[in-house]
Structure 1
Amino acid sequence: MPDVFVNYRSGDGDQAAATIEEALTHRFGTDRIYRASKSIAPGEPFDSDLIRGVRRSGVLLALIGPGWAEHPALGKDSDWVSREIQEAFLCDIRVIPVLIGRRTERPVRDDLPRPLRKLADCQSLRYDDRNKEYDLKQLGDWLARLVPELAEADRESAQASESGSGTHNTARDVRGPSVQTGTFSGGVVHIGPSKRSVRMGDGGNYVEGDNSGGIRQTFHRDPGQEDDGR
């Protein structure tokens, strides 16, 4: 079942809808993102499929372009953009306005048809094609926080866990300088001819002196454990 329903108006948000749906599908899986032109099978009655798609979703993204609030169909019974948003409100489904472009403003409550005025009170996100990578990541991150099923399916989170966040390195029998920078556990810096060793920060060492006898230091420490520098 879909977790995210992409609500948009043709001619005012369809390009953004396709881009957003593609990015979210890549991150969370194709079955979790509903966009009408992709999700409704040929020959399927679209009206019942749309309502069912909204009711089974955890979040509805209401894509709002520059001319969205002024569209003459907005609020009419025949307007599916309005009907999908109203259905989400009736079913107590979270609605997130997504403002398309840099200059699109959040709709003003008094400018909206009465059944849609609640939309003006919903916190919004922004999607700007010129800031696409950042905006899509922000949108995906928020959805993963708000919908537990999406967090479990989040491929970006899984990739980050696999790659790890620590630095692992080993320096043995060093002749000459050895420098490691950034966030690390178990670091060593060796410079110059004098004989002096100074501990630097969390697990780091600064060593000056003749290192011809060899320096053995492991740049790895499990959280909560003391350094074992040799």
Structure 2
Amino acid sequence: MSTDTPASVGRRQPGGRPSTRIFISYRTGDEPFGAALIDTALSARFGPEAVFRAPRSIRPGEDFAHAILTAVEQSSVLLAVIGPRWLDAAGVHGRPRLHSPADWVRREILHAFHNRVRVVPVLLHANLPKEHELPPVIAQLSSHQYLRLHHRYAPADLERLVDEVDELLGGLPE
């Protein structure tokens, strides 16, 4: 059982890192407002140091890849923010980026699975991708229970999301 309570989430451990982290994974250009809203709501509850969102959390001059992968490893929950263009966003060769091993969204989710970090899809005007639509290495995402965030119900949806994450953090082992 975790010694962290929701009130202690984000407090520093010896070594200076927060005791519990929430990683927000999203695709640039696919409803990025949702990731920013989620970040704001979670930071208000847990403190900004407990919530990782790359543009806010990675300092100038830091190694991007190292910062991302380390933050995933240190997280208890990864929120995979999925909008209408998340699945089909094309790379340089016209193929969906998600099918490239170099795609950061794919790498973040795969790294979370490998490190036993809970992955929660958050749907923004999108449906949960089906197993056959996903690369095999992250196909298990299609069976994860999701949350929705809709612009019409944003205050209530955000409150539910924050409450659900709060509950998850209270019940997860260190």
Same-fold call, TM cutoff 0.5: yes
Matched residue SS, 2:79: strand
1:81 is aligned, of 105, 116, 128, to 105
Establish whether residue 119 from structure 1 lines up as the match of residue 141 from structure 2.
Answer: yes
Correspondence for 1:110: 132
Any gaps of 5 or more consecutive residues in structure 2? 1-17, 90-95
* 1:188-222 per-position Cα deviation (integer Å, ceiling 9, x unaligned): xxxxxxxxxxxxxxxxxxxxxxxxxxxxxxxxxxx
Establish whether residue 138 from structure 1 lines up as the match of residue 160 from structure 2.
Answer: yes
TM-score (norm 1): 0.62
* 1:128-150 per-position Cα deviation (integer Å, ceiling 9, x unaligned): 12211100010011111110299
2:59 is aligned, of 23, 27, 41, to 41
Larger Rg: 1
Correspondence for 2:170: 148
| Structure ranking higher on relative contact order (CA contacts 8 Å, 6+ apart) | 2
Structure with greater helix share of residues: 2
Establish whether residue 5 from structure 1 lines up as the match of residue 14 from structure 2.
Answer: no
CA distance in 2, matches of 1:40, 1:119: 26
Any gaps of 5 or more consecutive residues in structure 1? 151-230
* 1:111-138 per-position Cα deviation (integer Å, ceiling 9, x unaligned): 1110110100100000112211100010
Give the C-alpha shift of residue 67 in structure 1.
Answer: 1.7
CA distance in 1, matches of 2:36, 2:166: 20
> Hey, which bits of structure 1, 4+ residues long, moved more than 4 A?
none
Matched residue SS, 1:147: helix
How many residues are matched? 148
Write the letter of the residue equivalent to 1:95.
V
2:124 is aligned, of 83, 90, 100, to 100
Alignment root-mean-square deviation, CA: 1.4
CA distance in 2, matches of 1:113, 1:76: 9
Give the C-alpha shift of residue 27 in structure 1.
Answer: 1.3
Correspondence for 2:38: 20
Structure with greater strand share of residues: 1
Write the letter of the residue equivalent to 2:75.
S
Q: Is the 8 A contact 1:75 1:115 kept in 2?
A: no
Q: Is the 8 A contact 1:23 1:136 kept in 2?
A: yes
Identical counterparts, % of pairs = 41
Q: Is the 8 A contact 1:110 1:117 kept in 2?
A: yes
* 1:136-171 per-position Cα deviation (integer Å, ceiling 9, x unaligned): 010011111110299xxxxxxxxxxxxxxxxxxxxx
TM-score (norm 2): 0.82
